[in-house]
A and B are shown apart, each in its own frame.
Chain A
């Protein structure tokens, strides 16, 4: 029995890892294709049919390039920076419920690597540790511009983490649990949290743009002021890791958005499917539903990137501290009042 659990969990972990990598790879292609589509161009179409092999070609190019190490006393920290960024971007996927359960070989297989009691807090912990990758990398580059950029990225991330946490508190007050699996189960049917917490969802969405350092909040990368950004001194696959980590965390944050607010793997008529067609088919469709939702959010990230111009740094800070945080506190108070009126028993 124990061996079966170990094999089952290993298969889930490895497939989630492979999926994250694959999605991160093809997000780079999707971004270029969507940018081209929005700007009325064709986009990359030379490698493979319709550019389908473009990510492989990009990866090969990055691997084949010379690895340049600047003259710094902290060679070890210089290498550690991208490694932390990449591993933290991948760690979050451990607590995400990818589906309800499958019934195979006479046993129920729960489609989640681990279901811990404090899953949301785990996500926040990993997120807050991810800042170190950028800070250490920027500092170890021994370059003033890299350092300034790392400072920008880190201060932006810790500022928006506050509002993000506040918007989650309102959600947790409503769902009464911190486990992502229970939150997903509560949203069965069309009972999605976004209908109950629209303001919280908006705050969370804006903050996840800031957390992943995406446009309109990608002030850490700025050719005009900062040469390149915190990865100015990086080349070859080390720089590839930073870029890859951005896409991987975009994938993960899209998944979390879908799980928290858009009903996770639930789709209308899931119960009917389970009773009439079978548990396995119903849940495989559920996995595809989650996948469709997260693909929509990845598309949304790219859509925003090529639509909205970027902020100035002081505007970014004003938005974070003077608008989003008060708004999220008001959201918490209103949620509390409504909960109290709705259910006198609490």
Chain B
């Protein structure tokens, strides 16, 4: 039962991910990406991670993708506006992709899956109380750094949008 569900979800994830890349219309791409994020949230639910699944839906489908759709819709991308990329950029894109693929492949060949016996620790990791305690005790410093990083990027974005205004 769970395995079939997993196969169905994976098929949806992969299909929508490929359709994101292959569809010609940028808005269709964005909508397929939203569907892809939803199926990933389904995978989280299968791991019994309710909190992660719902936060994933709120953050990725509910905030990031809406902003993305926003910009795509407002920019009104048409076929005529699309500039042909020069040969140099195409070749450099292919080369850089091949290099990244090479590095990833090298890393994955070396990697060995760690399969250990699943131990029941007696803690309910679905509960947000446990999650909150783990985040704010063991992973306090990275957690705070992540929030500072978000704050800095937000201030940076505000500054960028203000810059033209100051020069004028």
Contacts and interface: CB of A to CB of B under 8 A. Distances in A.
Interface stretch (B7-15, B61-69, B85-93): B61-69
A154 B62 CA distance: 11
Contact of B55 (A116, A121, A150): A121
A147 B54 CA distance: 29
Nearest to B27: A139
Interface string A116-152: 1110011011011101100110010000000100110
Interface in A148-188: 150-151, 154-155, 158, 161, 178
Contacts of B69: 132, 135
Given A135-B73, A139-B27, A151-B70, A128 B50 contact: no
A152 to B, nearest CB: 11
B33 interface: no
Interface residues of A, number: 24
Report whether over half of chain A's contact residues are helix, strand or loop; otherwise say mixed: helix
Interface residues on B, range: 20 to 34
B62 A129 contact: yes
A118 B62 contact: no
A67 to B, nearest CB: 23
Given A147-B73, A151-B70, A151-B73, A116 B50 contact: yes
A125 B127 CA distance: 18
Contacts of B58: 121, 124-125, 128
Nearest to A150: B73
A118 B50 contact: yes
Contacts of B74: 151
Interface string B32-73: 001000000000000000110011011001110011011001
A249 B15 CA distance: 32
B31 interface: yes
B133 interface: no
B25 to A, nearest CB: 8
Contacts of B128: 117-118, 178
Given A125-B57, A139-B27, A178-B128, A132 B50 contact: no
B153 interface: no
Contacts of B73: 135, 139, 147, 150-151
A211 B27 CA distance: 24
A150 B66 CA distance: 12
Given A117-B127, A139-B27, A139-B73, A131 B54 contact: no
A136 B58 CA distance: 18
In the A-B complex, the 9 residue pairs with the closest CB atoms: A128-B62, A125-B57, A121-B54, A125-B58, A125-B54, A118-B54, A118-B51, A118-B50, A139-B73
Interface of B: 27, 31, 34, 50-51, 54-55, 57-58, 61-63, 66-67, 69-70, 73-74, 126-128
